[in-house]
Amino acid sequence: MTDFKSLGLSDKILKALEKTNLTTPTPIQAQAIPHIMQGRDLMGLAQTGTGKTAAFGLPLMHRLLDLGHPPGPRNVRALILAPTRELTTQIRDNLEMFSKGTAVSIAMVVGGASINKQSDRLKRGADVLVATPGRLIDLLEREAVSLEKCAYLVLDEADHMLDMGFIHALKKIAKHIPLRRQTLLFSATMPKDIEDIASTYLRDPVRVQVSPPGKPADKITQGVHFIPNGDKARLLEDYLKKHPGEQALVFGRTKHGSEKLMKLLAAWGFKAGSIHGNKSQNQRDRTLTEFKSGQLDVLVATDVAARGIDIPTVRHVYNYDMPNVPENYVHRIGRTARAGAEGSSISFCAPIEMDELKAIEKVLKKAIPVVGGAPWSTEAIALAGPKPGQNRGGGQGRGRPPQVRGQAGAVKPFGAKPAGAKPQSARPQGQRPAAAKPMGAGAGKPPRRAGGGGQSRPAR
């Protein structure tokens, strides 16, 4: 199949597609759309950036067009659930583009916006409702929306939707939806335990997989740079200066650390913004708009943004902090090399993050190429901070400065000044010294290991 017309889509949808840059179906679209149009339940696995929204959105629009009458007050015909506000907005925007010129109505509900305005919007019903779980539950409890006539359920980023942070919310919502429905699950990764849970929501599903689960897009150049935690900010500055004018997305672990890093980059002259769980919805929307329009060159974010940014101009992704969940690495770096473009991803790995790196490489089933420094020794890891399971100190261990192996192999405190010598950092050989006073997100204050980015609980 070489074009969308051969997939059997209606002429109205084909006309709407003519006004987009979508001309040839991607593999996930070509394989999934025919099954969905036949009414089959489906589990779709494909790399981030390969067009999964169109894979479920186009056939959904096609099937809704056949109904020919409005949904009725407060009724919803199709429900699409997504884990973050950013991803929900992205899906809504795409569906509105696909349905332009048709009578299909799209509504969106997310936390951080006026629930009264959302209730008023739902009074006239919607063919498609795109929602985050928390806000949808709020509206269901208010009886502002009914799912009794909902015939389609779509879970985007299903692995995240079904993990422990969302499973209870999903069960609560599922009780309001008829059992006779078509259910579609899409994701870039699908761990075995999550797949088992997903199978309980699917009836005789078709499995469409166009690449190994967890495999990043082929056009992403990956690398890892081994660097002490306190030197990361200056290293990031070096990388950003190598690509002036090219947009970069920087991922941090915590809300506080990401905000601090953004302010530091702004003080150094970069056009930087941030999005994380401490930002209001209006603030997050405004920052994303500025990033999309090119007013910002650098966006610092927690994992709340890993699954909701579709900006083709992002050329570089930097994992300032390694992700706690290895599958999140795939979603993070998938923010670049969108729609066939090329991109790069560099991960900064401190001694206490070696376990995270190993877990990521296990998911990828290959080692990430080393672009700077050298893998930390067991001794350096042990001396760098608390044991696994203890509260991390961002490189600080119970009031003592972390110790790392020096160039000559001697163990010394990071930042210590040898007699008669100028201060030097423990930066891997070949990198210029860091500032005398360590600067960077999380310096001097221990980041929490998980939950700091607001991504461990259902979005409201």
**124-180 pLDDT, tens digit each:** 999 999 999 999 999 999 999 999 999 999 999 887 776 657 888 988 999 999 999
What's the chain's average pLDDT? 81
Cα radius of gyration (the chain)? 23
How many alpha carbons lie under 13 Å from residue 28 in its C-beta half-sphere? Answer: 27
Q: Where are the alpha helices (DSSP H) in 69-200?
A: 85-98, 115-122, 133-141, 158-161, 167-174, 192-199
What's the mean pLDDT in 449-459?
A: 42
Q: Where are the beta strands (DSSP E) in 181-320?
A: 182-187, 206-209, 220-226, 247-251, 272-275, 298-301, 314-319
Assess whether pLDDT exceeds 70 at residue 444: no
Residues 6+ apart with CB under 8 A from 263: none
Q: Phi then psi for 343, rounded to 5 degrees?
A: -160, 170
Is residue 332 domain-shared with residue 386, that is, in the same domain?
A: yes
What is the structure's pLDDT at 212? 60
Full domain range(s) for residue 200: 5-209
Bridge partners of 345, per DSSP, are: 222, 317
Picking from 129, 141, 189, the residue whose alpha carbon sits closest to that of residue 161 is: 189
Alpha carbon distance 249, 118 (integer Å): 31
What's the mean pLDDT in 332-343?
A: 77
What is the structure's pLDDT at 310? 73
Is residue 161 domain-shared with residue 104, that is, in the same domain?
A: yes
What is the structure's pLDDT at 353? 95
Structural contact between residues 252 and 300, judged by C-beta atoms closer than 8 angstroms: yes
Pairing status of strand 403-405 against strand 411-413: antiparallel
Is residue 261 domain-shared with residue 404, that is, in the same domain?
A: yes
Of the three residues 209, 236, 251, the one that is the final residue of a domain is 209
Q: 444 in a domain, yes or no? A: no
Is residue 320 domain-shared with residue 236, that is, in the same domain?
A: yes
Picking from 425, 221, 234, 199, the residue whose alpha carbon sits closest to that of residue 348 is: 234
Q: 244 in a domain, yes or no? A: yes
Going by pLDDT thresholds of 50, 70 and 90, the confidence category of residue 306 is: low
What is the structure's pLDDT at 391? 45
What is the structure's pLDDT at 326? 87
Q: 331 in a domain, yes or no? A: yes
User: Exposed/middle/buried for 27, CB within 10 Å: 0-12, 13-18, 19+?
Assistant: middle
Assess whether pLDDT exceeds 50 at residue 453: no
Residues 6+ apart with CB under 8 A from 272: 262, 265, 266, 296, 297, 298, 299, 300
Is residue 28 domain-shared with residue 83, that is, in the same domain?
A: yes
We report the CATH number of the domain holding residue 195 as 3.40.50.300
What is the structure's pLDDT at 113? 87
Q: 458 in a domain, yes or no? A: no
Alpha carbon distance 455, 460 (integer Å): 11
Q: Give pLDDT tens digits for 373-418.
A: 999 998 888 887 664 444 443 333 333 333 333 333 333 333 333 3
Assess whether pLDDT exceeds 90 at residue 425: no
Q: 459 in a domain, yes or no? A: no
Span of 77-81, 233-237, 390-394 with lowest mean pLDDT: 390-394
Is residue 156 domain-shared with residue 177, that is, in the same domain?
A: yes
Alpha carbon distance 125, 74 (integer Å): 4
Residues 6+ apart with CB under 8 A from 78: 60, 64, 127, 128, 129, 150, 151, 152, 153, 154
Going by pLDDT thresholds of 50, 70 and 90, the confidence category of residue 201 is: confident
Q: Phi-psi category of 382—alpha, beta or left, where left has phi over 0 and alpha has psi -120 to 50?
A: alpha
Query: What length is written for the chain?
Result: 460
Is residue 103 domain-shared with residue 244, that is, in the same domain?
A: no
State how far the alpha carbon of 391 is from the alpha carbons of 117, 352, 450, in Å.
Answer: 42, 11, 10
Of the three residues 186, 209, 232, the one that is the final residue of a domain is 209
What's the mean pLDDT in 7-33?
A: 90
Is residue 87 domain-shared with residue 180, that is, in the same domain?
A: yes
Picking from 364, 367, 317, the residue whose alpha carbon sits closest to that of residue 342 is: 317
What's the mean pLDDT in 313-321?
A: 93
What's the mean pLDDT in 423-435?
A: 40
User: What 3-state DSSP class applies to 222?
Assistant: strand
Is residue 224 domain-shared with residue 294, that is, in the same domain?
A: yes
Of the three residues 157, 184, 209, the one that is the final residue of a domain is 209
Q: 435 in a domain, yes or no? A: no
What is the structure's pLDDT at 211? 66
Q: Give pLDDT tens digits for 246-290.
A: 999 999 999 999 999 999 999 999 999 999 888 887 888 899 889
Q: Where are the alpha helices (DSSP H) in 298-342?
A: 326-333
What's the mean pLDDT in 315-339?
A: 86
Is residue 236 domain-shared with residue 166, that is, in the same domain?
A: no
Q: 52 in a domain, yes or no? A: yes
Structural contact between residues 167 and 197, judged by C-beta atoms closer than 8 angstroms: yes
Alpha carbon distance 20, 100 (integer Å): 11
% of the chain with per-residue pLDDT over 70: 78
DSSP one-letter string for 106-130: EEEE-TTS-HHHHHHHHTT-EEEEE
Assess whether pLDDT exceeds 60 at residue 426: no
Q: What is the dihedral angle through the alpha carbons of 97, 100, 106, 107, rounded to the nearest 10 degrees? A: 70
Q: Give pLDDT tens digits for 128-143.
A: 999 999 999 999 999 9
Is residue 45 domain-shared with residue 138, that is, in the same domain?
A: yes
What is the structure's pLDDT at 230? 94
Is residue 157 domain-shared with residue 261, that is, in the same domain?
A: no
Q: 67 in a domain, yes or no? A: yes
Q: Domains in the chain: how many in total?
A: 2
Q: Which residue has the tokens 């078709």?
A: 206
Span of 15-19, 301-305, 321-325 with lowest mean pLDDT: 301-305
